[in-house]
Amino acid sequence: MSVGQHIPFGLRPDGLLIDPFTAERGLACNCVCPGCRLPLMARQGDILVHHFSHVGNNNCKNGQTAALLLAAQQVLQSHRRIEVPELVVTATDEPRFGKPRQKTSRDPQARWDFEAVQLERSVAGHRADAYGIRADGSAGVVEFRIAARTNEQKRAAYREANIPAVEVDLRPLVGKALTLDELAKEVCDRPANREWLHHPEAAALERQLLAELHALRPTPTPAPAPAPFRGAGPPVYMRTGTDLSMLDAERLAIRKEHERHRALTTEQKLAELQAALSAPPDAWPELFTTVKPNSRPAINAPAPLWQGALFQEFVLGTLADARKRDYGFSAAAVNGWTWARFDASPGESMTGIISEVLRFLEHLVAKGYLRVSGDKYFVVRDSLPPRGAAT
Ligand SMILES: [Zn+2]
């Protein structure tokens, strides 16, 4: 584009941009082109859209896009706020057997308020269109997409610097006439025209989703026990079949016990637990009533009940049992046990159970009952403190 190029904003002698709706008509606007720095005329036609144009023939190549970028930077710098989009992270688990599963987490859309906005600051070798600093000292980058070129290079830079970066797509505005106020709405307030180039929490969220997906993998059917050595006698084949007889007696007994327990009322479950602990779980408020459930409780039992029962199952008396003491247990085992014992609240998924169980296990670590090694928990202290005492 050269002759007749519509320039959306003109650059005034004070370094600020002005829109053609506000400028004085013609050369009286006293503006130059943000691209080539040659004088502009303000055109406020009744038929043509308002715009600036160069005086006479010229070879300006980038006046239109330079004006839009400069104006976007300027409105962000003066408004110092921007809506950032929802963060959507999806993880896929493709087990060797069974169907692939997918999970998605969504962090709601939010707003960044900046104390200061620096333009053209270098971040990991890339010049950021805008670099904002928030009241807590954290930084966020804002990029504007005006040309059609890809943004992979920017993504790589912000990934390397591990700084959150949002790109606002202004391509639909190229060639349009708008006031600086209208541009400010497009830049600061519209969540729809932007995307994350990089978000420091995305990778951790993906790892968490993958862990949740792995926990959902079906437990493999136990392999049949090897046939006992019988010397030279005829071979002995172990049982076959796919019904419950495949489960060994111990597993079958555990399953029956879970089913029996699930069928009890909450009051009956509490009564059983109280008998086992020799007091209701509320007698240890520091231990069993500190970790509150999610806003939508995921485990179908009051928190003191499932937490007390979990403690009884996985912690109490463990140090006297060499197998339990030395092998520890995984979070997945606790998740599965909690689900089998209490079930999920109606409409809730395994994900909610996992987050509630993990928080309680971390609490037991913090209180000195458990320690973590690799992906296992080991019991350090396996008895309850005196009732009502601070633990
Ligand atoms: Zn120009």
Q: Identify the CA nearest to 115 among candidates 96, 92, 138.
A: 138
From ligand 1's centre to the CA of 22, what distance in Å?
Answer: 20
From ligand 1's centre to the CA of 146, what distance in Å?
Answer: 16
**pLDDT tens-digit series, residues 127-182:** 999 999 999 889 999 999 998 777 788 899 999 998 999 999 999 999 888 999 99
CA-CA-CA-CA torsion sign (24, 28, 30, 32): positive
As to burial, measured by CB atoms within 10 angstroms (0-12 exposed, 13-18 middle, 19+ buried), residue 10 is buried
Q: What share of the chain has pLDDT > 70, as a percent?
A: 89
From ligand 1's centre to the CA of 79, what distance in Å?
Answer: 27
- pLDDT category at 321 given cuts 50, 70, 90 is confident
From ligand 1's centre to the CA of 173, what distance in Å?
Answer: 18
From ligand 1's centre to the CA of 92, what distance in Å?
Answer: 49
Rounded CA separation 35/40 (Å): 11
The pLDDT value given to residue 208: 84
- Return the HEC string of the chain: CCCCCCECCEECCCCCEECCCCCCCEEEEEEECCCCCCEEEEECCCCCCCEEEECCCCCCCCHHHHHHHHHHHHHHHHHCEEEECCEEEEEEECCCCCCCEEEEEEECCEEEEEEEEEEEEEECCEEEEEEEEECCCCEEEEEEECCCCCCHHHHHHHHHHCCCEEEEECHHHCCCCCCHHHHHHHHHHCHHHEEEEECCCHHHHHHHHHHHHHHHCCCCCCCCCCCCCCCCCCCCCCCCCCCHHHCCHHHHHHHHHHHHHHCCCHHHHHHHHHHHHCCCHHHCHHHHCCCCCCCCCCECCCHHHHHHHHHHHHCCCHHHCHHHHHHCEEHHHHHHHHHHHHCECCCCCHHHHHHHHHHHHHHHHHCCCEEEECCEEEECCCCCCCCCCCC
From ligand 1's centre to the CA of 7, what distance in Å?
Answer: 8
From ligand 1's centre to the CA of 181, what distance in Å?
Answer: 23
From ligand 1's centre to the CA of 17, what distance in Å?
Answer: 14
Task: Round the average pLDDT of the chain to a whole number and report it.
Answer: 85
Q: What is the dihedral of CA 259, 265, 269, 270, to 10 degrees?
A: 170
**pLDDT tens-digit series, residues 367-388:** 999 998 877 899 999 999 887 5
From ligand 1's centre to the CA of 57, what distance in Å?
Answer: 11
From ligand 1's centre to the CA of 29, what distance in Å?
Answer: 15
Q: What share of the chain has pLDDT > 90, as a percent?
A: 47
From ligand 1's centre to the CA of 37, what distance in Å?
Answer: 6
From ligand 1's centre to the CA of 238, what distance in Å?
Answer: 86
**Are the C-beta atoms of 336 and 354 separated by less than 8 Å?**
no
Rounded CA separation 124/139 (Å): 14
Which amino acid is it at 41? M
From ligand 1's centre to the CA of 65, what distance in Å?
Answer: 10
The pLDDT value given to residue 201: 86
As to burial, measured by CB atoms within 10 angstroms (0-12 exposed, 13-18 middle, 19+ buried), residue 21 is middle
The pLDDT value given to residue 391: 46
- Cβ neighbour number for residue 152 with a 10 Å cutoff: 9
From ligand 1's centre to the CA of 136, what distance in Å?
Answer: 40
Residue ranges of domains in the chain? 10-79, 81-177+189-198, 248-379
Q: Identify the CA nearest to 114 among candidates 216, 172, 188.
A: 188
- Residue 329, strand partner residues: 377
The pLDDT value given to residue 236: 44
300, two tokens = 């179908």
From ligand 1's centre to the CA of 33, what distance in Å?
Answer: 4
The pLDDT value given to residue 280: 92
From ligand 1's centre to the CA of 66, what distance in Å?
Answer: 9
The pLDDT value given to residue 389: 57
The pLDDT value given to residue 235: 45
**pLDDT tens-digit series, residues 67-76:** 999 999 999 9
Rounded CA separation 155/199 (Å): 10
The pLDDT value given to residue 346: 87
Q: Examine the pLDDT at 226 and tell me if it is beyond 60.
A: no
Rounded CA separation 314/363 (Å): 14
**pLDDT tens-digit series, residues 240-252:** 444 444 456 777 7
From ligand 1's centre to the CA of 5, what distance in Å?
Answer: 8
**Are the C-beta atoms of 77 and 184 separated by less than 8 Å?**
no
CA–centroid distance for 72 within its chain:
29
From ligand 1's centre to the CA of 98, what distance in Å?
Answer: 61
Rounded CA separation 230/151 (Å): 69
- What mean pLDDT do residues 283-303 have? 89
Q: Examine the pLDDT at 307 and tell me if it is beyond 50.
A: yes
From ligand 1's centre to the CA of 18, what distance in Å?
Answer: 15
**Are the C-beta atoms of 324 and 351 separated by less than 8 Å?**
no
